């Protein structure tokens, strides 16, 4: 899916510092309500998830966006690290009998001259082989230069979620698909500065708007809530009137009203 983000155009290639890895600190969560499907055990263990073959193709090494990419991230490890984070947040453990990860066999990152930001698709071979197309023009436009590592890693993390999330056999709303991807990005501390907790519109506006709603559910019902949501999208076709009550005991409309009210209370407290 194409990410709808805007940045100003930078002046051109410049010497960039060697990027430092972005830490993923433990998060302090609100007191959680007991969910109807509690999750036990740890999301980490002695076993590691198997990872796909990872490839990088740069279609134009002379493009200034290619220069910025190669000088901003470690091209040998950035995809592997992002895959680890996606699997950590969406799945419990490879040793857990209830954990079922999509059979993604390879991911090829293609940096090319194109419009938009990025999108993910299956290859002509089959849908288990994925391609992430990432715009060199967009990479070149990221400004200031100090945000390059953070933004590139954030976009890649979002797109890798599309390689590993379930979609209810193609029936999941696009807003929820994109919301889960940005929820993972949010929980990797990779949100860009323009993201805000906006409560206008419907819950399924997608991207960061839905991501913050999902974060509210994760905090309210406890760690592993979005994992359970993702797993339910594996096991059932999406029917809104059943999906949310079966997970949370309430309709999504009621859950969203509660979220909006909580955000308004938060805003009022911050104004005091």
For the stretch 109-155, pLDDT in tens is 999 999 999 999 998 878 899 999 999 999 999 999 999 999 999 99
pLDDT at 23: 46
**For residues 8-37, average pLDDT:** 42
pLDDT at 78: 97
Q: Which domains does the chain have, with CATH numbers?
A: 51-164 (3.30.2010), 168-272 (no CATH)
Sequence-separated (6 or more) residues with CB below 8 Å from residue 160: 79, 82, 83, 86, 107, 120, 132
pLDDT at 159: 98
Q: Is 35 exposed, middle or buried (0-12, 13-18, 19+ CB in 10 A)?
A: middle
Mean pLDDT over the full length of the chain: 86
Between these two residues, 261 and 18, which has the higher pLDDT value?
261
Smallest CA-to-CA distance from 63 within 1, 138, 146 is with 138
Query: Which CA distances in Å does 223 have to 54, 213, 220, 270?
Result: 29, 15, 9, 26
On whether the pTM is more than 0.85, the answer is no
């Amino acid at each position: 899916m194409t990410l709808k983000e805007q940045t100003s155009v930078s002046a051109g290639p410049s010497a960039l510092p060697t990027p430092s890895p972005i830490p993923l600190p433990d998060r302090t969560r609100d007191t959680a309500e007991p969910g109807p499907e509690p999750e036990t055990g740890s999301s980490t263990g002695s076993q590691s998830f198997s990872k796909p073959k990872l490839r990088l193709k740069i279609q134009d090494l002379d493009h200034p966006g290619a220069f910025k990419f190669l000088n901003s991230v470690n091209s040998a490890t950035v995809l592997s690290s992002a895959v680890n984070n996606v699997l950590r947040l969406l799945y419990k453990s490879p040793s857990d009998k209830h954990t079922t990860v999509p059979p993604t066999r390879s991911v090829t990152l293609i940096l090319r001259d194109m419009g938009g930001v990025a999108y993910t698709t299956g290859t002509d071979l089959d849908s288990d082989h994925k391609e992430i197309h990432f715009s060199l023009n967009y990479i070149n436009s990221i400004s200031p230069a100090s945000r390059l590592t953070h933004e590139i890693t954030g976009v890649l993390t979002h797109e890798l979620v599309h390689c590993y999330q379930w979609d209810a056999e193609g029936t999941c709303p696009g807003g929820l698909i994109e919301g889960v991807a940005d929820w993972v990005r949010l929980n990797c501390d990779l949100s860009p500065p323009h993201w805000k907790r906006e409560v206008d519109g419907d819950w399924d506006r997608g991207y960061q708007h839905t991501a913050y709603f999902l974060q509210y559910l994760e905090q309210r019902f406890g760690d592993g809530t979005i994992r359970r949501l993702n797993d339910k999208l594996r096991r059932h076709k999406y029917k809104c009137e059943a999906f949310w009550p079966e997970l949370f005991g309430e309709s999504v409309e009621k859950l969203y009203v509660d979220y909006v009210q909580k955000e308004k209370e938060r805003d009022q407290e911050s104004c005091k």
